[in-house]
């Protein structure tokens, strides 16, 4: 059928239901509320349509840009490619959706637009939604059962795909649907415009595809579940070498991926946008309240002059207040910090290097996308004069309830045993785990002192070896930030000293650990056994052996002594 420059391919029985004189009834469905937008972007819009006799999804592929318009003359439309892939994937007995109809622009005025209608799969959810939103609500025993079952089924799905020559270049859980039949999970592959069909796949292609999938799971699943997936995929319960290679390649791939995303927070996109006013420049997240932004741009110093705001710090280097703003339809407590100009050379330096406020902004978002817990940065501003940046301002969400690790340690010291011992040990494990993951992601924090670590106290006081309860903090998880529900009990703040490196040297790791160690030198109740426990968790012994822990111990002790001596010479208090 060809009308209005769109050629349609569908079964006759669905023609009257879907088309009105050859034209898709989309506007009619939207007007009646039968259709709703599921996903929208510059390249495509996806609708879910519920009719009395049909339930389907409609993907409208847009033709934007010169490159896309030229591409339509040399290859099939996106809808045609996905339609043909769906038929071939199903023929190779890999579960996927069933096409309902195909529409393509045609004629001399071919715009490159295309439409793909697919039958909805009954009672399915995206695998990512199930794992992040639904699974945490189940009892522990049920979660364990489903995690293990899904790991095995996912391994079988990938094995079936690769054994039949199917390669998905955008393989992540959002492109996999899950359905439960008689209490057993079944997985379906979707979003097939990124699929390549081959007669066979070599190991290099298979491994690269597994790395793409593992980039999501290495941050969200346990090693035992990933090993369970590998055994189901490979069919060999004794071979772990391939799994270890995939893990190593995934970490390298993630590092490249994260570095490519770091500049995103200083560009204009759907998550961030730049700000500019008379003498003031900056960046903000896109869900910030417009009135709050207008007030800050008019006078960035106004919050420090408002008596309703609580002053947390006022020194030569910075001023910090706690205040309330409207955000996402509710009142949000935030921390607002001013970076004072200490030297006349600082504005000149801003011409060749990143300012402290901007470093905190960039690394705040960079750490969050690397799954390192830190409060969400909301706004960064600078006063600009003569092309140079002067005072900087940073607003971040406030975590509640939390307290500085140093204050938490004071409170723990007063606890009675065995509650004190249990709390100390669990806190040591949590802090060591955070710093291990920080360094594993090639991130250094040269000012890693106890005052720059926040604790969610109720989750640690009297904790046993059980996992802590999920913390209910004021910067609630936001899909726009890729920040999922978190069990984190230790959070990082004050990121001026953070650096994201291609490779973190052992010397820098020792400096970071020594700086934290120096914060606790005055605490006599922290024993050498406690410090060894920290080192065991940091290295970690259970996975990699003892790793010459005595050499680490001596190096940290030596670096700590050097830090103490340096502060003594300069007369600075050791925080």
pLDDT per position as a tens digit, 358-417: 999 999 999 998 989 999 999 999 999 998 999 999 999 998 778 899 889 888 888 888
User: Hey, how many other C-beta atoms are within 10 angstroms of the C-beta on 418?
Assistant: 9
Percent helix, strand, coil in the chain, to 5, is 45, 25, 30
Give pLDDT, residue 74: 65
For residue 9, what are the contacts with CB-CB under 8 A and spacing of at least 6? Answer: 83, 101, 102, 103
DSSP three-state, residue 177:
strand
Residue 343: CA count within 13 A, CB half-sphere: 6
Asked whether the predicted pLDDT for residue 321 surpasses 70, the reply is yes
Radius of gyration of the chain (CA): 28
pLDDT in tens, 52-68: 989 999 999 887 666 65
pTM of the predicted model as reported, rounded to 2 decimal places:
0.83
pLDDT of 479 strictly over 50: no
Q: What whole-number distance in Å separates Cα of residue 162 and Cα of residue 211?
A: 13
* pLDDT over 90, % of the chain: 61
Compute φ and ψ for 428, nearest 5 degrees: -60, -45
Query: How many alpha carbons fall within 13 Å on the CB side of residue 273?
Result: 8
What does the pLDDT read at residue 133?
Answer: 84
How sure is the predictor about 475, in pLDDT bands with cuts at 50, 70 and 90?
very low
499 Rama sector, left if φ>0, alpha if ψ -120 to 50, beta otherwise: beta
pLDDT at residue 33 greater than cutoff 50: yes
Two structure tokens written together for 209? 């595809």
Asked whether residue 466 carries a pLDDT value surpassing 50, the answer given is no
% of the chain surpassing 70 pLDDT: 90
Name which residue leads in pLDDT, 331 or 5. Answer: 331
Position 340 pLDDT exceeds 50: yes
> Are residues 324 and 331 in contact, defined by beta-carbon separation less than 8 angstroms?
yes
pLDDT band with cut points at 50, 70 and 90 for residue 230: very high
Question: How many DSSP H helices and E strands does the chain contain?
Answer: 19, 26
Residue 464, pLDDT score: 44
Residue (of 389, 393, 403) closest to 493 by Cα position: 403
Contact 60, 115 (CB under 8 A): yes
Find tokens 């940290």 and name the residue.
Answer: 556
Over the stretch 519-545, which tens digit does the pLDDT of each residue have? 999 888 889 999 999 999 998 775 566
pLDDT at position 72: 63
* Mean pLDDT of the chain, nearest integer: 87
Instruction: Say how far apart CA 115 and CA 101 lie, in whole Å.
Output: 8
Length of the chain: 575
Q: What element of type H or E holds 26?
A: helix 26-32
User: Cα separation of 139 and 8, whole Å?
Assistant: 48
Residue 470: its pLDDT value, please? 40
335 has pLDDT over 90: yes
CB 312 within 8 A of CB 403: no
The pLDDT, as a whole number, for residue 197 is 93
What are the pLDDT digits (tens) for 1-18? 444 678 899 988 888 899
Q: Residue 354 — φ and ψ, nearest 5°?
A: -75, 135
Q: Above 60 in pLDDT, residue 474?
A: no
Higher pLDDT, 154 or 570: 154
60-108 confidence digits (pLDDT tens)? 988 766 665 666 666 788 899 999 999 999 999 999 999 999 998 876 5
């Amino acid at each position: 059928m060809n009308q209005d420059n769109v050629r349609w391919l569908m079964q006759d029985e669905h023609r009257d239901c879907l088309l009105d004189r050859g034209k898709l009834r989309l506007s009619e469905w939207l007007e009646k509320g039968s259709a709703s937008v599921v996903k929208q972007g510059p390249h495509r819009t996806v609708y879910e349509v519920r009719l009395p006799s049909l339930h389907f999804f409609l993907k409208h592929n847009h033709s934007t840009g010169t490159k896309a318009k030229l591409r339509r003359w040399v290859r099939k439309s996106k809808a045609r490619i996905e339609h043909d892939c769906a038929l071939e994937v199903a023929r190779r007995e890999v579960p996927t959706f069933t096409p309902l109809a195909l529409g393509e622009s045609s004629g001399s005025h071919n715009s490159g637009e295309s439409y793909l209608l697919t039958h909805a799969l009954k009672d399915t959810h995206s695998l990512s939604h199930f794992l992040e939103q639904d699974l945490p609500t189940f009892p522990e025993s049920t979660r364990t059962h489903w995690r293990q079952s899904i790991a095995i089924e996912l391994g079988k799905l990938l094995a079936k795909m690769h054994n039949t020559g199917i390669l998905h270049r955008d393989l992540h859980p959002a492109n996999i649907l899950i359905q439960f039949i008689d209490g057993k999970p079944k997985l379906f592959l979707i979003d097939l415009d990124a699929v390549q069909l081959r007669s066979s796949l070599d190991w290099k292609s298979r491994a690269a595809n597994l790395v793409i999938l593992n980039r999501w799971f290495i941050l969200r699943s346990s090693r035992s579940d990933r090993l369970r997936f590998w055994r189901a995929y490979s069919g060999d319960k004794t071979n772990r070498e391939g799994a270890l290679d995939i893990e190593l390649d995934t970490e390298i791939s993630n590092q490249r991926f994260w570095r490519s995303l770091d500049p995103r927070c200083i560009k204009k996109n759907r998550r961030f946008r730049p700000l500019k006013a008379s003498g003031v420049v900056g960046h903000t997240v896109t869900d910030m309240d417009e009135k709050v932004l207008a007030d800050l741009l008019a006078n960035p110093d106004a919050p420090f002059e408002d008596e309703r705001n609580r002053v947390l710090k006022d020194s030569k280097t910075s001023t910090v207040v706690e205040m309330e703003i409207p955000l996402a339809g509710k009142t949000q407590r935030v921390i607002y910090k001013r970076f004072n100009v200490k030297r006349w050379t600082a504005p000149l330096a801003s011409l060749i290097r990143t300012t402290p406020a901007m470093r905190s902004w960039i690394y705040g978002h960079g750490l969050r996308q690397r799954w390192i817990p830190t409060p969400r940065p909301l706004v960064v501003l600078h006063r600009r004069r003569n092309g140079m940046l002067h005072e900087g301002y940073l607003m971040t969400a406030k975590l509640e309830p939390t307290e500085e690790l140093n204050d938490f340690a004071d409170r723990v010291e007063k606890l009675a045993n065995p509650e004190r011992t249990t709390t100390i040990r669990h806190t040591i494990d949590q802090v060591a785990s955070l710093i291990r993951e920080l360094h594993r992601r090639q991130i250094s924090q040269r000012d890693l002192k106890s005052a720059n670590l926040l604790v969610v106290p109720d989750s640690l006081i009297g904790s046993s070896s059980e996992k802590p309860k999920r913390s209910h903090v004021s910067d609630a998880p936001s899909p726009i930030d890729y920040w999922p529900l978190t069990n984190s009990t230790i959070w990082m703040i004050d990121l001026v000293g953070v650096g994201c490196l291609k490779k973190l040297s052992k010397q820098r790791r020792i400096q970071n650990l020594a700086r934290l160690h120096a914060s606790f030198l005055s605490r006599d109740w922290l024993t050498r056994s406690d410090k060894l426990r920290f080192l065991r968790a940091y290295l970690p012994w259970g996975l990699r052996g003892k790793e010459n822990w005595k050499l680490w111990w001596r190096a940290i002790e030596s670096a700590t002594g050097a830090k103490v001596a340096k502060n003594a010479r300069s007369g600075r208090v050791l925080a």
